[in-house]
Structure 1
Amino acid sequence: MTETINRLWQILRVVEKEAHSLQAVMQRRFPGHGAISPAWLEGQLATPEGIDRLESFVGKFSRMQDTLVDKLLPHFLLAVGEEPGTALDNLRRAERLGIVSDPDQWLAMRRLRNHLVHEYVDDLAQLAAAPAKARETAGELYKTFHGIKAYAGKNLPPVDKTQ
């Protein structure tokens, strides 16, 4: 069990770095939190730097979501004595523990992540909607991370340095 808890704390540190990176790129990418319109997006896509910044946001959003769902959540459940299962099962267990507010929202975020990463869209209005939705749902990523971290801090022992 000590190894599981130590691994959980290690993954929490990784996700904390990912959260800081995502937050930083969002502040640089979307200063003032204005609307992401097709015209704004067209301006961003007109320069290599704009493309790189948008791809950086998509990558950091996707990476944090992947780490939360695929690594942090299963290790968290193990550490608190739950048996991890499918991603949806894990999200439902996390909802029962008060960590996730809506598993269906997470499934929608997962579809959004796949859309951002794997699909090429020519329609600027449709393309602008995806990063706008990702920016909007990033708050759930932060909330879930902080919920797991707070729960672990309150209910689990700290890292065992002798391991």
Structure 2
Amino acid sequence: MKTKCLLFVILMLLITLVSGCSNNEGDKYIGKWTGLENPDNPRSYIYQISIEQNGDNYIIKRKISNYNEFNPDRQLEWQEGKEKTESATLKDGKLVSGNDIASVSYTYIEKDNTLLYSAKGIYLQKDDDNAIFENLKKQAADALTKYWEEHPIINKTPIIDDPFTKYGKAKQ
């Protein structure tokens, strides 16, 4: 009886050890990632990418958002992008979505814990708590407000197409 219990305990420890040591290369991709389309311009598009594992594949949800710069009232208006979903597989250490003709890859860069989105060359940072997204959104709002202050709307004289008004002649 003691040997059966001892064998059972050893078996359970081995199972725990083996299952705990599995190293899935795709685990580093899982989570939320956020980045700016052009890091030199805080008013550019903010990319949000969410990656989840689904068996051997990965589900990637991508959303691109920004502030409406052309709002005539010059009020900050956030334009939430439409979420697009795609499926990807792990190939040669990269997540690849699409086919042989048109594919997009996501490459994890270990030295700085970033993700390179190949379609636009955008570097994304891990953002599971949305802090980076909120910070980029605030920077965009501040930059847009500053831009509007530096470039006020100039009221111009309206174009007059009515010849009677334009040339001062009375209608008969």
TM-score in same-fold range (> 0.5): no
Which of structures 1 and 2 has the bigger CA Rg? 2
Higher strand fraction (1 or 2): 2
Taking CA–CA contacts closer than 8 Å with sequence separation of 6 or more, which of the two structures ends up with the larger relative contact order?
A: 1
